[in-house]
């Protein structure tokens, strides 16, 4: 049993950002493998990181969910939890479609990991005020994408 657990953990930690090369056809399905969010999201020597078309399309879908919610007057706890579910679906698609690799992919993790943490906090909210603050953090993190990626 311990060997199986160790093998599973090794696979998770080596599946992304490790030294081995992945083919362009490999699909990356797990983005939450790190226990601590890496720090230091910054431009790539003053220019934006390159994201693939699928990632850009999926991020636009996430931002569309945020824009629609921001344009509405819905602000109950149920409203926030509903938008959290929609965001989770959009992020699941983004993660499922991910084929990026290399430094650009690593930079994507620096944006995505905090976004997923903030979304988890939103989904765990128990009051409308708590949800409002968590939603604001999700919205702010999601909108950083266009600052750092093209």
For 58-76, the pLDDT digits (tens) are: 999 999 999 999 999 999 9
CATH number at residue 105: 1.20.120
102 falls within a domain: yes
Count of domains for the chain: 1
pLDDT at 40: 85
pTM of the model: 0.75
Asked if residue 18 has pLDDT above 70, the reply is no
In terms of phi and psi (left: phi > 0; alpha: psi -120 to 50; beta: otherwise), the region of 125 is beta
What DSSP character marks residue 16? S
For 112-121, the pLDDT digits (tens) are: 999 999 999 9
């Amino acid at each position: 049993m311990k060997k199986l657990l160790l093998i599973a953990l090794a696979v998770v930690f080596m599946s992304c950002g490790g030294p081995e090369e992945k083919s362009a056809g490999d699909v990356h399905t797990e983005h939450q493998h790190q226990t601590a969010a890496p720090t230091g999201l910054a431009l790539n020597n003053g220019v934006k990181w390159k994201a693939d078309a699928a990632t850009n399309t999926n991020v636009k879908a996430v931002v569309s969910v945020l824009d629609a919610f921001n344009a509405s007057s819905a602000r109950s706890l149920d409203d926030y939890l509903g938008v959290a579910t929609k965001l989770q679906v959009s992020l699941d698609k983004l993660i499922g479609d991910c084929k990026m690799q290399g430094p650009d992919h690593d930079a994507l993790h620096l944006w995505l990991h905090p976004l997923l943490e903030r979304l988890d906090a939103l989904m765990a909210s128990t009051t409308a005020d708590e949800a409002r603050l968590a939603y604001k953090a999700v919205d702010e993190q999601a909108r950083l994408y266009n600052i750092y990626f093209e």
